[in-house]
């Protein structure tokens, strides 16, 4: 489950990076689209044996720019829907995973405290350390990808602002401003709709586990 969830979040991060590139270079994409359509029009005109200039359809100056920006807005909406689908599918499983990980960390601490002479049981201590490290890495991977999703989605607003919208007309500028407003709320996958998967959540989980370990250690002494 952990690797599947991490892979889904990583794919969403990849789509966000593609969208950020498109927002920063939408004028170049619009020019490519214009040339593609012009070449296609000339090819159709040549096939019909008419003047090549007649195959090219006259478009407004901002037609292709608006087409690219509309595709960027649709792409952003698709990413939002995709992240929401990931959260609906893995929200319960992720919160159970975090709760069980915290319990396991506490139980490993209790087992460590139950050893009378740790120096005389090196293999047992080693296996406990390996198991504890695996649990920490397993939770860290989920939280790291979730934290990267939050930061990358937050950077979309800056990517849109860095684009060439200042050189365009009012309509493209309005579309960019609308997208920047929509990007003010970062995307995140939450665990049980309680707390997001992030490095801050990972720190809180470790802090809770350590506090429980410290309480049990004081009870033993």
Q: Is the pLDDT of residue 117 over 80?
A: no
Q: What is the pLDDT of residue 52?
A: 46
Kindly state the tokens that stand for 99.
């709760």
Residue 8 neighbours by CB under 8 Å, 6+ apart: 86, 90
- Cα 62 to Cα 66, 145, 149: the distances in Å are 6, 38, 32
Using the structure block, give the residue that is written with the tokens 């929509």: 182
Kindly state the tokens that stand for 215.
């309480």
Q: What is the pLDDT of residue 122?
A: 78
Q: H helices within the chain, ranges in order? A: 2-24, 26-48, 63-114, 122-154, 156-161, 170-182, 199-220
Which pTM value belongs to this model?
Answer: 0.84
Q: Minimal CA–CA distance to 167: which of 65, 34, 68, 72?
A: 65
Kindly state the tokens that stand for 178.
């609308």
Q: What is the pLDDT of residue 38?
A: 78
Task: For residue range 62-99, list pLDDT tens digits in order.
Answer: 888 999 999 999 999 999 999 999 999 998 888 888 88
Q: What is the mean pLDDT of the chain?
A: 84
């Amino acid at each position: 489950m952990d690797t599947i969830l991490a892979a889904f979040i990583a794919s969403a991060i990849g789509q966000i990076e593609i969208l950020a590139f498109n927002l920063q270079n939408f004028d170049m994409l619009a020019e490519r689209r214009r040339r593609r359509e012009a070449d296609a029009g000339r090819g159709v005109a040549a096939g019909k044996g008419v003047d090549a200039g007649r195959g090219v359809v006259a478009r407004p100056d901002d037609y292709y720019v608006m087409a690219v920006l509309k595709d960027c807005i649709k792409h952003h909406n698709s990413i939002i829907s995709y992240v929401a689908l990931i959260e609906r599918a893995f929200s319960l499983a992720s919160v159970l995973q975090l709760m069980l990980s915290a319990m396991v960390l506490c139980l490993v601490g209790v087992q460590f405290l139950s050893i009378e002479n740790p120096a005389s049981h090196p293999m047992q201590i080693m296996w406990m350390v390996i198991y504890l490290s695996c649990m920490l890495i397993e939770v860290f991977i989920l939280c790291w990808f979730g934290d990267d999703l939050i930061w990358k989605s937050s950077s979309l607003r800056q990517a849109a602002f860095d684009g060439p919208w200042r050189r365009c007309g009012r309509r493209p500028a309005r579309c960019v401003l609308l997208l920047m407003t929509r990007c003010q709320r970062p995307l995140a996958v939450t665990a049980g709709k309680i707390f997001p998967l992030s490095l801050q959540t990972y720190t809180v989980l470790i802090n809770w586990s350590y506090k429980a370990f410290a309480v049990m250690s004081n009870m033993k002494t």
